[in-house]
Amino acid sequence: MMKTVCVTGAARGLGLALTAQMLKRGYIVYAAGLDMEKSEGIRLLTDAYPQHLRAIELDIADDLSVALFTETLKLDTEHLDMLINNAAILGSITDHIRGPLNMAEMAEVFNVNTLGTLRVTHALLPLLLQGTNKLIVNISSEAGSIEQCSRDGWFAYCMSKSALNMQARLVHNGLKNEGGQVMLIHPGWVQSYMSGELNTAADFTPDQSAQFITALIDRHKQFMGDQPAYIDYKGDALPW
């Protein structure tokens, strides 16, 4: 039986790089995201792996989009071995408690980063439980760590990632007795489009970060336990 994985936020950046890495490992990849038809990277990967890549439109912030995406997957496969929840947005990083706060934008970030991943996880759970690995990988962040937080801003992103971490614990608790596992991985500071345009000042290219992450996924059984693994790209544990 062919190994299968779904990657969200796959049109560009880290999601596209993770898609490429999983294709190299022989997976059938369901690459999901916004504006997939406009993605040059997805087009190139489709040409290189025509039998292994399925590119499907998905807005994880929208209930109907997630439902339609799930039905599309069910028509193509009876199982998923892995789900990589990568799609995320940043929100304002300059808001300060002494200044104006954009609550509507914060709600949007939560709807994507926290509720969006839960929408997808919940919708695809029946397929995941039919898979071999039953593995959910959430791309989290060190910004979600309450213990080591030193920022005085980034309200939307930090809070949404902390909530994502709690979500992962709840999901893990609900699946571990059936062999399910959740991993939370901080990808490092990656050159991404999360702020709307490419951040070239970051430490890692998407390809470099994706190689770190997929290397951790390759040995995911080492991180299995009573609680989700919350680790950085090197595999070191992060404080909750």
- Residue 187 domain flag: yes
Residue 166's CATH number: 3.40.50.720
- Residue 237 domain flag: no
- Residue 111 domain flag: yes
State the CB neighbour count (10 A cutoff) for residue 151. Answer: 10
Positions of the chain with pLDDT lower than 50, given as ranges: none
What pLDDT, on a 0 to 100 scale, did the predictor assign at position 206?
A: 94
pTM of the predicted model as reported, rounded to 2 decimal places:
0.95
Residue 160, domain extent:
4-232
What does the pLDDT look like over 91-147, one tens digit per residue?
998 989 999 999 999 999 999 999 999 999 999 999 999 999 999 999 999 999 999
What pLDDT, on a 0 to 100 scale, did the predictor assign at position 181?
A: 96
- Residue 238 domain flag: no
What pLDDT, on a 0 to 100 scale, did the predictor assign at position 193?
A: 61
What pLDDT, on a 0 to 100 scale, did the predictor assign at position 1?
A: 78
Cα separation, 15 vs 12, in Å, equals: 6
- Residue 190 domain flag: yes
- Residue 76 domain flag: yes
Count: domains in the chain: 1
- Residue 80 domain flag: yes
State the CB neighbour count (10 A cutoff) for residue 189. Answer: 15
- Residue 240 domain flag: no
